[in-house]
Chain A
Amino acid sequence: MDKNLKIYLEEIDHYLILKEGKKEVLEEIESHILEKTEKNFGKISEENIQKTINLFGSAKEVAEKYLDGFQIISPSYKKYLFRYTWILFAIHYCLKIISYTFNLAFNFSPFGLSIKITGLMQLLSEALATWIYSFGIVALILYLITQSEKEINLIWPQFVVSKFKIKTLPLNAPSRLKIGIIAGLLIISLIIYFKFNTLFFMTVNLHQTPEPLFATAFSQFMSLLVIGLIFFELICSIMPYFFKTYWINLINNCVYLIVAVFLLNNPFKEIFINPSLDVLKPIGSWILIGIIVIVVFDLFKALISMVRTEKQ
Chain B
Amino acid sequence: MLTQDNKIGVEMNRGFLQIMALLALETPMYGYMMLRFIEEIGYSVEENTLYPMLRRLEKNGWISSRWDVEHDRPKKYYEITKEGKIIRNKLLSIRQIQNGVITKLLKEVKNG
Residues of A within 8 A of B (CB): 21, 24-25, 27-29, 31-32, 34-36, 39, 55-57, 61-62, 65-66, 68-69
Decide if B48 is an interface residue (CB 8 Å cutoff).
yes
Cβ contact within 8 Å between B56 and A28: no
Decide if B51 is an interface residue (CB 8 Å cutoff).
yes
Q: List 11 A-B contacts (CB under 8 A).
A: A21-B55, A24-B76, A25-B51, A31-B76, A32-B32, A34-B73, A36-B32, A57-B48, A65-B51, A65-B52, A66-B55
- Complex CA gap A35/B36 in Å reads 12
Residues of B within 8 A of A (CB): 30-32, 46-49, 51-52, 55-56, 73-76
Cβ contact within 8 Å between B48 and A61: yes
Nearest Cβ distance between residue B31 and chain A, in whole angstroms?
A: 5
- Residues of B contacting A21 in the complex (Cβ-Cβ under 8 angstroms): 55
Nearest Cβ distance between residue A22 and chain B, in whole angstroms?
A: 11
- Complex CA gap A66/B51 in Å reads 8
- Complex CA gap A143/B46 in Å reads 32
| Nearest B residue (CB) for A65 | B52
| Nearest B residue (CB) for A27 | B74
- Complex CA gap A24/B48 in Å reads 15
| Nearest A residue (CB) for B59 | A21
- Complex CA gap A17/B30 in Å reads 23
Cβ contact within 8 Å between A32 and B74: no
- Complex CA gap A34/B72 in Å reads 11
- Residues of B contacting A24 in the complex (Cβ-Cβ under 8 angstroms): 76
B interface secondary structure, majority: helix
Cβ contact within 8 Å between A31 and B55: no
- Complex CA gap A29/B74 in Å reads 11
Given known contacts A65-B48, A66-B55, what 4 new A-B pairs fall within 8 Å (CB)? A25-B51, A28-B31, A31-B32, A32-B32
A interface secondary structure, majority: helix
Cβ contact within 8 Å between A32 and B52: no
- Residues of A contacting B56 in the complex (Cβ-Cβ under 8 angstroms): 68-69
Nearest Cβ distance between residue B73 and chain A, in whole angstroms?
A: 5
- Complex CA gap A25/B76 in Å reads 10
- Residues of A contacting B55 in the complex (Cβ-Cβ under 8 angstroms): 21, 25, 66
- Residues of B contacting A55 in the complex (Cβ-Cβ under 8 angstroms): 47
- Residues of A contacting B31 in the complex (Cβ-Cβ under 8 angstroms): 28, 32
- Complex CA gap A36/B36 in Å reads 10
- Residues of B contacting A35 in the complex (Cβ-Cβ under 8 angstroms): 32, 73, 75
Nearest Cβ distance between residue A11 and chain B, in whole angstroms?
A: 13
Name the 6 nearest CB pairs between A and B, nearest first. A65-B52, A57-B48, A66-B52, A62-B48, A35-B32, A28-B76
- Residues of A contacting B76 in the complex (Cβ-Cβ under 8 angstroms): 24, 27-28, 31
- Complex CA gap A61/B2 in Å reads 11
- Complex CA gap A25/B58 in Å reads 13
- Complex CA gap A293/B62 in Å reads 61
| Nearest B residue (CB) for A67 | B52
Cβ contact within 8 Å between B51 and A28: yes
- Complex CA gap A304/B49 in Å reads 46
- Complex CA gap A62/B48 in Å reads 6
Nearest Cβ distance between residue A312 and chain B, in whole angstroms?
A: 30
Nearest Cβ distance between residue A41 and chain B, in whole angstroms?
A: 14
Cβ contact within 8 Å between B52 and A31: no
- Residues of A contacting B49 in the complex (Cβ-Cβ under 8 angstroms): 65
Nearest Cβ distance between residue A207 and chain B, in whole angstroms?
A: 81
| Nearest B residue (CB) for A29 | B51
| Nearest A residue (CB) for B46 | A57
- Complex CA gap A236/B56 in Å reads 56
- Complex CA gap A309/B73 in Å reads 62
- Residues of A contacting B75 in the complex (Cβ-Cβ under 8 angstroms): 31, 35
- Complex CA gap A55/B52 in Å reads 16
